[in-house]
């Protein structure tokens, strides 16, 4: 189930990262299992990176035991200068 949630995040976050002002804390949409993630997006050198900083269970409570906390979910992303 958590793999599905991470897959959903990976599918939707690139568009956010390319948007101006993407740095900050973003909450994902609720996944099929009812949980969601907070992802902190920031600069890493001249690229954009993001890591999972909080997880929520289907009941909305913080899941402090989520095994992917602190792990990168976005790394070394850069805008495509040909796309504006």
Task: Read off the pLDDT of residues 46-56 as tens digits, 9 standing for 90 and up.
Answer: 889 999 999 99
Q: Look at the pTM and tell me if it is higher than 0.75.
A: no
Q: Write down the pLDDT at residue 19.
A: 46
Angle, vertex CA 77, rays to CA 47 and CA 41, nearest 5: 75
pLDDT at 82 over 70: no
CA proximity to 33, closest of 4, 61, 12: 4
Helix intervals (H) in the chain: 2-18
CA proximity to 29, closest of 5, 3, 63: 5
Judged on CB neighbours under 10 Å (0-12, 13-18, 19+), 45 is exposed
């Amino acid at each position: 189930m958590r793999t599905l949630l991470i897959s959903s995040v990976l599918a939707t976050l690139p568009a956010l990262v390319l948007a101006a002002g993407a740095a900050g804390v973003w909450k994902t949409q609720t996944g099929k299992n009812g949980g969601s993630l907070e992802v902190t997006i920031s600069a890493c050198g001249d690229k954009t990176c993001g890591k999972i900083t909080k997880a929520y269970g289907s009941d909305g409570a913080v899941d402090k035991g989520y095994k992917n906390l602190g792990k990168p979910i976005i790394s070394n992303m850069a805008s495509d200068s040909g796309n504006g």
